[in-house]
A and B are shown apart, each in its own frame.
Chain A
């Protein structure tokens, strides 16, 4: 069974606005737009919009010229896609498995199922009524092959049924070639060749078509599509399968009010979860613990791991740190632990000869630090492609893979430590463009005895305003041997502000 949700985007928008078709906000002409390089373009329009002249694929400016009252809302292709996925699972009420037919269709396998609904016609009527109840416009068709069902749903009569013993070629001959699910470029070629109906393709012979269309990809090969339509070639479909999150829960006979008991139940839950995950060879990356209180309040605590794990002791310990501020009220009667994000984690064989590992692993250590200090506190520096020193380094979670970066040129030495914000210093110099001789920082004067520089770093003009000043960096050593990295912000007379200021940015080793 093929289901074509011909107005999916508009229907979703209308359901979000909670108005019936043609009423409320839907009574005004409206278009859903997407941003493109040439300005907003219309993705879909409601009935009033279509009547006013807006067409999908049109520029918004052109549509506004036709109908100045046209209202717009941003389209949501990602949301449509997610909705379609949920719908594909929901559509399994009519058949054992279903597949997505992007962007706005579904395919449901109803082989040997129709009798449960009282025949194919009643199955289609049931589906149509159910979609209508959900407020979705749907066109449906049943055929022996996915291609034929798709063609009938899009271009055939309402609720078309092609029985297995009908002659498919004869029934489908009058449909346009667009029913073959071909790309726009191929359709143009076929139109220019004068081939408008599927029946005409059969008349000119297979050899001629094979010579003309050599591409093996089915989307641009009418012959292959025709064979799929008629069932001469197999067409694999990718089914949508619901994978439930691993979930364990404990209902308690007696509500618990004390921390000691809670820890005990939590340890049991963690052990249950470890077993569940082990069955599927998974490790948890994110866990959610829900605590249902007697008075109906729900307390939720989340935990994220640096690496996939299913060690119950580790899980229980990390949750214990997060349960300190829980108000149990009259008691907690239900605990539920759910793994929201899992990753494959195979079972491993322990080494019988190796001594038992001392201490914790890196991932466990990072988890413990993160839980107590927060995610922002535990990080690793990584390189970033930028000239500016403070931008050349970024921070990311410690176990995340390092982004690819170019090798560093070793011409210049960099300081060991960088101040979060460069500090203003007062500098004495012989000439404005010359070497600094003495500077005052945090209330103390440093005599400069050795200098290297300047290393000029220009602002990143593609990112910043044109008035940002360049920086001349100097690596200096003072009389006591202390080494710093300072810079002059701008040049005298560069027309971007007054006399240049000096800053201390880094402390060298």
Chain B
């Protein structure tokens, strides 16, 4: 039997690995962005990613931004003059007092065909947002086709059914054109740590004019999942 016709193991490996994410790929309707509460990087990166994904869908549609009271206290309200240009005249803002109201507002927003996407901003890990609630949101986005970006401020990485989960923090901004001492256009360090269709990786995201630019950083060590952490130094087979 001639084995030379079959692929070698080394050649097979890159094919089984999922492709890396890049701007404009889209596809994920339900994403989560984890970020610190001391900076606006989470919301900013979520807006940039959502705008990148919305593309054609944006059209004349409005955008819903839901904040719960804790997130509002932590990071303030959206400020229209500082919003990305395409969003300034189409933002509808909702303040929810409790996490339950927050989830209700998200779900109603996702059911509405006149929204381009929905941004939710939620602080820490409320009991109301468990796997069931997350799965419920995921089903609504799949059914109605409105993408959801959930920004989690100061939150643990708990169980969730989100298709893509990002960890975002601010990155040093590139040099602005005129004033070398001034902060430049925003940049964020984004780590994709869970994704169904993509391999995990790290990127530096930038707003490059109208589109989102992403520079991929050197690939991190392979991720064995939480199982490997739990196993410690022992071999997995040893149980």
Whether A450 pairs with B72 at a CB distance below 8 angstroms is: no
Whether A509 pairs with B186 at a CB distance below 8 angstroms is: yes
Whether A360 pairs with B170 at a CB distance below 8 angstroms is: no
Bound CA span A418–B94, Å = 15
Bound CA span A417–B41, Å = 10
Number of residues from A at the complex interface, CB < 8 A:
53
Q: Is the CB of A243 closer than 8 A to any CB of chain B? A: no
Bound CA span A395–B114, Å = 21
| With known contacts A483-B173, A508-B40, A360–B105 Cβ distance under 8 A | no
Partner of A418, one of B76, B89, B113, B144: B76
- The smallest C-beta distance from B127 to any residue of chain A, in angstroms, reads 20
A residues in contact with B96, CB < 8 Å: 373, 377
Whether B72 pairs with A444 at a CB distance below 8 angstroms is: no
Whether B183 pairs with A408 at a CB distance below 8 angstroms is: no
Whether A451 pairs with B76 at a CB distance below 8 angstroms is: no
Whether A452 pairs with B112 at a CB distance below 8 angstroms is: no
- The prevalent SS among residues of B at the interface is mixed
> Residue-by-residue, is A361-389 near B (CB-CB < 8 Å gives 1, otherwise 0)?
11011101100110011111111000001
**Chain A: CB-nearest residue to B73:** A420
Q: Total A-B residue pairs with C-beta atoms closer than 8 Å?
A: 165
Of B10-18, B78-86, B214-222, the one contacting chain A is B78-86
Whether A365 pairs with B111 at a CB distance below 8 angstroms is: yes
Q: Is the CB of B58 closer than 8 A to any CB of chain A? A: no
Q: Is the CB of B6 closer than 8 A to any CB of chain A? A: no
Whether B38 pairs with A416 at a CB distance below 8 angstroms is: no
Q: Is the CB of B109 closer than 8 A to any CB of chain A? A: yes
A residues in contact with B208, CB < 8 Å: none
Q: Is the CB of B223 closer than 8 A to any CB of chain A? A: no
Whether B181 pairs with A450 at a CB distance below 8 angstroms is: yes
- The smallest C-beta distance from B202 to any residue of chain A, in angstroms, reads 15
| With known contacts A480-B170, A481-B171, A389–B79 Cβ distance under 8 A | yes
| With known contacts A369-B108, A380-B91, A481-B172, A408–B81 Cβ distance under 8 A | yes
| With known contacts A377-B96, A420-B72, A480–B44 Cβ distance under 8 A | no
Whether B80 pairs with A393 at a CB distance below 8 angstroms is: yes
Give the interface of A toward B (CB within 8 A).
357-362, 364-366, 368-369, 372-373, 376-383, 389, 392-393, 395, 398, 402, 408, 413-420, 441-442, 444, 450-452, 475-477, 480-483, 506-509
- Known pairs A389-B79, A419-B76, A477-B172 / 15 extra A-B pairs, C-beta < 8 Å: A359-B144, A360-B112, A360-B113, A369-B105, A373-B104, A381-B78, A392-B81, A408-B81, A415-B82, A444-B38, A483-B170, A506-B76, A507-B40, A507-B76, A509-B82
Q: Which 9 A-B pairs have the closest CB atoms?
A: A509-B44, A452-B182, A507-B40, A414-B82, A362-B114, A365-B112, A477-B183, A481-B170, A419-B76
